[in-house]
Structure formats: structure tokens, C-alpha cells
Amino acid sequence: MATPRITELGIDEIKTIERIRAPAMTVLRRGESAVAVDSYGNIVAGPDPDHAAVLQAVVDRVNRKNAQIHLKGTFFLRKRLDLSGSQYLRFTGESNGATKLVIDNNYNVVFDISGSLYITFDDLQFYIPPGRQPSYIIFASRKVSEGVNGGYVFRNIKVHDEGGADVFYYGYGSEGVLFDTCWIDIAKRGIVFTACNIDNVSSPFTSPPPPPQSQTHVAIRDGHIVNWTKNACVELEGTAQMRIEGVYFGCDFYDPTNYAIRIRWHPQKNVSTEEISIENNMFEKAVVAGAQPVSTGSVVFDLSIRKNRIAILQAGPIVNFSTPPTGIYGFVWDENNTMIAGHELRFDILADAYVHTHRTDPNKEPKVVVTGSVRRTFIDAWDPANVSLPSERIGVVEVVTHKALSKQTGTATIPAGQTSVTVTHSLRATPTKVLVTPTANVGAVWVENITSTSFTIRCSTAPPADTTVYWYAEV
């Protein structure tokens, strides 16, 4: 079977599911019990106070294939649901959001959709009550022998966690996953993708890689994801072609290790996360993106961060790939990301990057800090003080700054036996005042040949040794 794909032009998986003439089943409450009826009103499962057993019976009745299952009411799930190996199943709730699935168990996995294709969850509320701590609400995994799994769509989903769930969705090796208009409020990690679009191909992407706008394997859009412990709202581990747009990310408290998006090298497969687009999102109390290197040579390829609103009031790193050895090869940051002063983009290795931090409000420009090495990179900034690069530079590394200084200080050295030194300044115009203070007796000292780019310091007595002169100039 062809690898499922999600495209920006439409969700092919949803369209396929909605076109099929699949049996329609309805599961509803009858007193304390759940009962399932077919499209003719015939009871096909239940009534049974074990709500999970009724849902499982419906899935098994259609042989886990080609069915639309409509849920009405509130259901208490006290058992694990096995949907593994299913194809073309669509679970829908009531359009007013009245359908609630109460995860009333501490199972490791609640919904197991491993090895499945084209599963949709639509208009459903998931609620984890106090005292309940399931590990995975939705678990999608596969091994190489199981072939492709994916084509998963989560649309109009609300998750409210008052217990302590570890992850809402965990996908291993899944392809074609979409979260559309979802609200996820969870204790630890909201969404985890690991080895997605990695196992079944010889290389992480074709050459040249398609742009994220035309084909995306994993997408999260128009949603709300919040966690309230030191974890990531979204975690990417060895995942390729990911698009995150229009999402609110937040935490209950600020901590520099609270990552809205955490990007990791895959430790077992030894592969990187690649082609990630983060655009038009809102970040509050959580770092935009961070990396956890888990093996030597941990790298991320092609990360684009554009047009996001960053409402983190604390100064410090908001993009943090600084723990060695962490490298980004192919990084784009544009000036349309809005933020406050004191933020930093921090890297260990930065390569093949275009970083445009120059803004009309220079007080909101982030610092760019690279501590390891910088390679083939262009940085367009306002203030040169906001760019800190290491001495190790490979290829063309260009930094353009636009700050127009009205005052500047510095030092110059009059060489031994000489009576002058020319100083280059960065003032916005020809200075009208220049003050000089030598550190040794060099006779009379004055300034001449003042221009918009330089001036000359002269002395009447040549010093016997190199002599430092402090200078101050203003326009």
C-alpha cells in the first residue's frame, strides 16, 4: 500500500474515509449502560455497564475495517481498547462537543491503534479524572515487519487532564498525521512523534527535499496545547517533514526547561529530525524550541521559525540548541517573530542558516549566540552587540548590522616611534566631538581628519613603546 500523505491542499485521508460507504454504528448511553445500534436501529452490542467492552465489540463486529462509529453521551473507559491493525475507522462525537470519553483507568495504553491505517477521531472530549495516570491515551506504533501505519486525523478534539497522563498521542513510525483545531491540556507531554517517516525509507527525505508547504507528513494546526510540568507540549524525535501552525503553546509556569517544542535525535535509529516548519504560533511560558542531544553528532536539519508571537516575559533562550554536541544545519528565523527584549537564539553549531532579527523596534531584537562553530551563515541584525559568534567559522559567514550609533567609545594604539593612528568608527554621521586620553606622556594630543567613517589621533612626541589611547566620540 502506498505511503499515506497529508497535503496542504486537503486531507486525503479524511476525504477517503468520508467517501466510502461504510457501515454506520451509533453507541449511546442507556442508563448506566452503553449500547450500540446499527443504521437500522438494531442492537449490535450491549447494553453493558462496561462501556469499553461495547466499543470493542463494535470495532470487532466490523472486523476493524470500513466503519463510522458515532458516539453520543459520556462513556467511562475502564479497559484498554485494541484497535491495532484497523483500517478506515472514523470515531465521531456530537458536533456540540457533548461527547466525553472519561479515561477511568491507569493502563499503559488506552487506545492502541498500532499498525492501523486511516483512523479519524472527530468532535470528542477526553477527560482524565484526578488520581488516574495512564501512560498513553492514543498509542500508535509499528515495527518494520508491520508495514506502514498512519493517516491519522484528530479534529476538534479537547483533552482535559486532572490526573497525570504521560502523553496524549504517541506515534512511532507513523506517517500522515494531522491535529486540526485541538485543545490539549495535559500534565506532561501532549504529542510525541518518534521515528515518523524514517523506518521505511532509505534516507530521511528525497533529494532535493520537497518544501513543507507542498507535502507534510505530520501537521498540527489551529490548536491549543498546554502542559503543567517540566515536559514538552510537542516532542519530535527522528521525525521528518513536520508543520506546526496556528497553535497556542503554554505552560502553567515558566521554566527554561519547559519546551513547547522539543526536538531530539533518535537514539536507537541514530537519525535526526528534519524539515520542521513552525509558523504563526503563540508561545507563552514555554521555550519555542529546544533540543536534547542523546548521542554524539546530534543534529537537526532544515528548521524554519516564522511569524510567531512569543509572549515569554522572562529573558533568556527561546530557541535553545546550545548543549554540545547539538547542531542545526539549515535554519531560518525571520524578523516577523514578535517578542520582548532579552531573548536569545542559542546554538552550539549553526550552519547553512539565514537569521533575520533586524526589527523596526530594536529593543525587541533577540541575541544570536553561537558557542561552538558557525558555518555558511548570514545574519541580519540591528545591534552588533546582539550577535556573539565563535572564532571557528567555516565557509562564508556574514553579519550585517544596521544600528546607527550617536555615541561610541573605544581604544587605539599609537605604535612606538610613530606620532599618529587612524581610528575607524561606526557613528551614523561625522562626529562633532572627539575626546582622547593617552595612557602615557606623548606630548600634546589632538584629533584631525574627522570624517563620517574615521578620524586621526596625533601626538607631538613619538612614544618609545606602543601606547594606548582611550577615545570618546559623538555626533
pLDDT of residue 362: 67
Predicted pLDDT at 374: 92
Furthest-apart CA atoms within the chain: distance in Å: 109
Preceding omega of 208 cis (within 30 degrees of 0): yes
Give the model's pLDDT for residue 23: 65
Fill in the DSSP letter of residue 56: H
**DSSP secondary structure string for all residues of 158-214:** EEEESS--SEEEEEESEEEEEEES-EEEESSEEEEEESTTTTTSSSSS-SSPPPTTT
Query: For position 17, what pLDDT does the model report?
Result: 43
Cα–Cα dist 230/253, whole Å = 9
Q: Which residue has the cell 581628519?
A: 449
Task: Record the cell numbers describing residue 348, joined without a space.
Answer: 552550539
The reported pLDDT for the residue numbered 18 is 46
The confidence score (pLDDT) of residue 417 equals 94
Radius of gyration for the chain, computed over Cα atoms and rounded to the nearest angstrom: 30
pLDDT of residue 200: 31
- pLDDT recorded at residue 43: 87
Q: 142-163 pLDDT, tens per residue? A: 654 455 677 788 888 888 888 8
91/379 Cα distance (integer angstroms) = 48
pLDDT at position 174? 73
What's the pTM value of the predicted model, to 2 decimals? 0.74
Write the CB contacts of 324 (distance below 8 Å, at least 6 apart in sequence).
293, 348, 371, 372
Query: Which domains are present in the chain?
Result: 12-401 (2.160.20), 407-474 (2.60.40.2080)
Write down the pLDDT at residue 147: 55
Q: How far apart are CA 411 and CA 210, in angstroms?
A: 51
State the SS3 of 110-167. EEECCCCEEEEEEEEEEEECCCCCCCEEEEECCCHHHCCEEEEEEEEEEEEECCCCCE
Distance CA 198, CA 247 (A): 25
Cα 469 to Cα 460: distance, rounded to the nearest angstrom: 14
Q: How far is CA 327 from CA 81, 179, 231, 263, 333, in A?
A: 41, 28, 22, 11, 15
Ranges under pLDDT 50 in the chain: 1-20, 144-145, 198-216, 295-296
Alpha helices in 323-412 (DSSP H): none
Q: Which three cell numbers stand for residue 75?
A: 462513556
CA distances, 278 to each of 9, 38, 314, 390 (Å):
18, 43, 21, 27
Q: In 3D, which of 58, 220, 227, 55 has the Cα closest to residue 154?
A: 220
DSSP single-letter state for residue 3: P
**Which of these, 284, 152, 167, lies nearest to 224 by C-alpha position?**
284
Grid cell listed for 260? 513547547
Helix (H, G, I), strand (E, B) or coil at 438: strand
